[in-house]
Structure 1
Amino acid sequence: MHSIETNMNYEGSDKQTCWARFEATVNNLQKRRDKDLRILSEIELMDFFNQYQTITADLARARSLGAPDSVVDRLNRMAVAGHMILYAYNTKPKPKSSTRWWASFAQVLRQNLWALGLSSILFFGAALITFVAVIQNPPLGFDLVPDEFLHFNPAKEDNMHDIPSLSRPIAASSIMSNNIQVSLLAFGFGLTAGIGTSAILLFNGMYLGAIAGWFSVQGNSRALWGWVMPHGGVELLAICIAGAGGFLLAKAIYCPGQVSRRTALKKIGKSALTMEVGVIVMLVFAGLIEGFVSPSSITYPTRIAVLISTLGLWGCYFAMAGNQVFSRRH
């Protein structure tokens, strides 16, 4: 029996710890009426699966090596309990979710506000620093501001220029394509461990800040913001969310947890892709406003109203869509 005990090592501290952890998880789940694995985090769930596989393997070895009945009985109870929980989870009819596909975008964003915060800090931080730098040192604008904006003088105070109605669909299409390209780059470069995503956000933030600073120096800030306000709020938010999607991919590379980086990317990639699809929808929305509303002759107060209303609508969507707490209250 010595060889059996040595091979099985059922009294070893590692085995006892593993079995005790599995029993504790099973007991915790069995106390719940629904025995739902969804109460576990992703890491805890993967750990539970790994422990279950270890338990079943130990049970098979214990039986084949003739381990004491007490050990076999304990392992058998754990294996049966684990199987019942896993089987119930896999065969349980999935409840009809009150959420639809459109709600998943908001849910994923709420679950990853840290990524949105990081993306926003990089983008708006770069914009603010560059804005102040150009204000304090106007000649810097010649190095940072694109040539087409250096000597731009809007014809009207309230809007930079008025695109003819027949040309607006073409303008909207061009604007959407450019913004979607930027968002795809910010998202896709997450696979560079977030380095490329950070560069995209910093560059575009500096671009925005330099132009804003230059127009302020030239006394044309009202014209700039008159143009930007109707669509800019949604557009800039969308770009920050695209960056957040990129940082989700970077998280899978930097912090894969107890799984391989490839597995972590597959797991987190679905959430990141959901964010990017939502970003594209936002940019189409913003592009239509930028192509049809921003270049129109609407008044400055109306432009402010469009900014507030569009951000308010998207804010309500992100706060309420797929939010079970809100749904129960209503």
Structure 2
Amino acid sequence: MALFGLLGAKASADAAAIEAAALRSDRFRQEREGDWQRLEAIVTRMEKGRLRKISDEDLLQLPVLYRTVASSLSVARETSLDAGTRAYLESLVQRAWFLVYGPRTTLMGWLGRFFGGEWSRAVRAIWPELLVALALMVAGTVVGWQLCAQNPDWFYALVPGQFADARVPGASAEVLKKTLFGQTEAEGLSIFAASLFSHNAGIAILCFALGFAFGVPPLMLLVQNTATLGAMLWLYHGQGLTYDFVGWLSIHGTTELFAILLSGGAGLHVGRSMAFPGEQSVMDAAAAAGQRAAVVMAGVVLMLVVAGMLEGFGRQLVDETSGRYIIGYGMLALWLAYFFAFRRTPQGSEAA
């Protein structure tokens, strides 16, 4: 009997605790429900695009109401209120957050601003680093050529194995020419093109990502990558195929190498800002440079996609040198015109 008494007392205590928790939850909700409902009404109207039906007072109160409801959610979590109240508050806070702190523009609006001048301004803002990167790329090409000219064994050190195949020192002009023409249906050319694109895309990403190390890794990567180009130029030049090889490379290379140039410049820009922050702190200078460089890299991704399409389709469909030059240097002219001739500055915006 004593055991039954104890069990009955425990059950009564549990029931009293549950009732107290329910009362506490109801009281908590009643005290704050007015603010929740007001915020939910504002959020619902804004989500449906009914901005005209929202009063100025409600718009001004939106951030205040958001913080009030967020505070209610914090209390609800700490005091273990009922799951239904917590789920409601979590959903409402999430919806309100996107309206208070979320992006203020649509995807189309962002694209319009990006292509409408933001990308070109960011590129022009890092022009000193672009000149350094260009000088390094030219120097790397010359170094690769000269090393192979002095000792052909350097070719195997500079050119990755997957790029060599029949393209090796000692190959005849006929063999090398076959790698440039009459290969529109050849699977090997597609594999080589995919490997070259993957390699160059990786170089572009690394040039930017390693820029924080005071710009040293991008310097090395730019020289190393273009030394490979110099070695390939030396190989084809030796058999009198320089003009044809440059045309073969240009159909996608003008875009792809330009993308590498931009990524190298972006990485150097971040590194230079950290090494020479001026009157700013290192972190502030790096943050500002990183934002500008990130805009450049967003465009680099687009350029690499375009280069991939040119490499995958253009090179397969165009099998004569003059057409390759027209496409390749036509693309280069378009990029240069956009970056350095297109100087539209939206009203009220500042140059990067």
Q: TM-score, normalised to structure 2's length?
A: 0.58
**Matching residue's letter, 2:269:** L
Residue 253 of structure 2 is matched in structure 1 by: 232
Aligned to 2:201: 180
Instruction: Letter of the 1:112 partner, please give it.
Output: I
Structure 1: any 5+ residue segments left out of the alignment? 1-95, 326-330
Cα deviation for residue 201 of structure 1 reads 0.5
Aligned: 1:127 with 2:174: no
1:256 corresponds to 2:277: yes
Residue 323 in structure 1 maps to residue 344 in structure 2: yes
Which residue in the other structure is 1:150 paired with?
168
118, 125, 128: which one pairs with 1:114?
128
Q: Does 1:101 align with 2:114?
A: yes
Q: Residue in 1 aligned with 2:102?
A: none
Secondary structure in 2 matching 1:100: helix
Q: Cα RMSD (Å) of the superposition? A: 3.1
AA in 2 matched with 1:129: V
Describe how 1:191-206 pairs up with structure 2 within 5 A. 191-206=212-227
Q: Quick one: distance in 1 between partners of 2:121 and 2:219?
A: 24
The alpha-carbon distance between structure 1 residues 206 and 177, as it changes in their structure 2 partners (threshold 3 A), is closer
CA distance in 2, matches of 1:122, 1:220: 25
Contact persistence 1:105–1:275 (CA under 8 A): yes
Counterpart position of 1:310: 331
2:255 pairs with 1:242 = no
| Structure 1 residue 101, shift from structure 2 partner | 1.3
Provide the C-alpha distance between the structure 2 equivalents of 1:301 and 1:226, rounded to a whole number of angstroms. Answer: 7
Shift of 1:140: 4.0
Q: 1:159: which partner in 2?
A: 180
* AA aligned opposite 1:111: A
Residues 234-258 of structure 1: per-residue CA shift (max 9 Å, x gap): 1111101100000111122111122
CA contact (8 A) 2:274 2:286 kept: yes
Supply the distance in 2 between the matched residues of 1:126 and 1:279 (Cα, whole angstroms). Answer: 21
Could you tell me how far apart the structure 1 residues matched to 2:223 and 2:157 are?
Answer: 16
Equivalent residue, structure 2, for 1:269: 290
Output the amino acid matched with 1:246. G
**1:135-182 CA distances to partner (integer Å, 9 max, x unpaired)?**
355454354344523156646468256253899988776554433221
Q: Decide whether the 8 Å contact of 1:231 with 1:289 is kept in 2.
A: yes
- Retained in 1: the 8 A contact 2:250–2:328? yes
2:14 corresponds to: none
> How far off is 1:323 after superposition?
2.8
8 A contact 2:184–2:315 mirrored in 1: no
Query: Taking structure 1 as reference, are residues 220 and 279 closer, same or farther at Cα in structure 2, changes over 3 Å only?
Result: same
Deviation digits for residues 208-263 of structure 1 (CA, Å, limit 9, x no counterpart): 11121122124443442232021111111110110000011112211112222112
AA of the residue aligned to 1:122: L
Q: CA contact under 8 A between 1:157 and 1:223: conserved in structure 2? A: no
Contact 1:249 1:265 (C-alpha < 8 Å) held by counterparts: yes
SS at match of 2:180: coil
3-state DSSP of counterpart to 1:182: helix
Aligned residues: 230
Give the Cα–Cα distance (whole angstroms) in 1 for the partners of residues 295 and 193 of structure 2: 24
Structure 1 residues 294-305: aligned runs within 5 Å: 294-305=315-326
Cα distance between partner residues in 2 of 1:206 and 1:166: 27
Q: Deviations over 1:276-327 (max 9, x none)?
A: 11111111111111111123343211111112211111111112444349xx
User: Aligned partners of 1:146, 1:177: CA distance in 2, in Å?
Assistant: 12
- Check the 8 A contact 2:215/2:271 in 1, yes or no: yes
Q: Is the Cα–Cα contact under 8 Å of residues 208 and 218 in structure 2 kept in the other structure?
A: yes
Secondary structure (helix, strand or coil) at the match of 1:117 reads: helix
How many Å separate the matches in 1 of 2:176 and 2:157?
25
- CA deviations over 1:26-46 (Å, ceiling 9, x no partner): xxxxxxxxxxxxxxxxxxxxx
Q: Secondary structure at the match of 1:237?
A: helix
SS at match of 1:162: coil
- Measured in 1, the distance between the counterparts of 2:239 and 2:217 equals 33
Letter matched to residue 123 of structure 2: L
- 2 CA distance for matches of 1:144 and 1:175? 14
Partner in structure 2 of residue 27 of structure 1:
none
Q: Deviations over 1:45-64 (max 9, x none)?
A: xxxxxxxxxxxxxxxxxxxx
Distance 2:188 2:149 in 1: 34
Q: How does 1:69-84 map to 2 (within 5 A)?
A: none
TM-score by length of 1: 0.61
Write the letter of the residue equivalent to 2:148. Answer: V
The CA distance in 2 between the partners of 1:226 and 1:167, in whole Å, is 19
Question: How far apart are the structure 2 equivalents of 1:140 and 1:175?
Answer: 19
